[in-house]
Amino acid sequence: RHHSNTGSVERDEVFVPKTRNRVPWSFKLLDNFPGRILLILITLTLGWPLYLLFNVSGREYDRFASHFDPNSPIFNNREKLQVLISDLALSGIVYCLYQMGIAHGFPWLLKVYGVPLLIVNGFLVLITYLQHTHPALPHYDDSEWEWLRGALSTVDRDYGILNRVFHHITDTHVAHHIFSTMPHYH
């Protein structure tokens, strides 16, 4: 759904900007150097789990939305079984990780699994944030939004040698939104 609704204030799925009247009071308290550093640290470490668990920074729904709830408004009826299967698989993974923690110690598990996971999550959030937010990128309401206009409302970023490491998802992102089923993305 994200690729078919990019740049839409009403229908995009992630990094949807809040209108002025919907900005929480806490953001005014954090609108300073220490507050911004704190927000960056929270976003890079907890941003992905918070998005999946509570739809933080996602579009607003009329009720609670979570990527782990098959009955969440994020999903249609066809996707409910897929979410349930995914939840069961994740439960199995959590159980296996727990057993590894018992066998090898939880500090070891944190070192070999937790820290690398935080790093990957940090890169994921940073890259997608930078591709979808920039002061020059417009977001459109329903009266102005159309698919191509939205698809062009993303940014290619040049990360030098890391472009190759990230399989060029960073420097070809606009093309990815225009041709979202191209083989190296799909």
Average pLDDT of span 135-140: 87
Average pLDDT of span 9-35: 84
Encoding tokens for residue 71? 């009955």
Percent of the chain with pLDDT over 90: 45
Residues paired with 8 in a beta bridge? 140
What is the predicted pLDDT for the residue at 184? 63
Q: Which helix (H) or strand (E) holds 27?
A: helix 25-29
185: confidence class by pLDDT, cuts 50, 70, 90: low
Task: Give which of 88, 56, 53 is closest to 68, Cα–Cα.
Answer: 53
CA torsion sign, 29 to 133 to 16 to 161? negative
How many helices (H) does the chain have, and how many strands (E)?
A: 9, 0
Q: Which of 15-19, 97-101, 137-141 has the lowest mean pLDDT?
A: 15-19
pTM metric for this prediction: 0.81
Percent of the chain with pLDDT over 70: 97
Is residue 161 within 8 A of residue 178, CB to CB? The reply is no
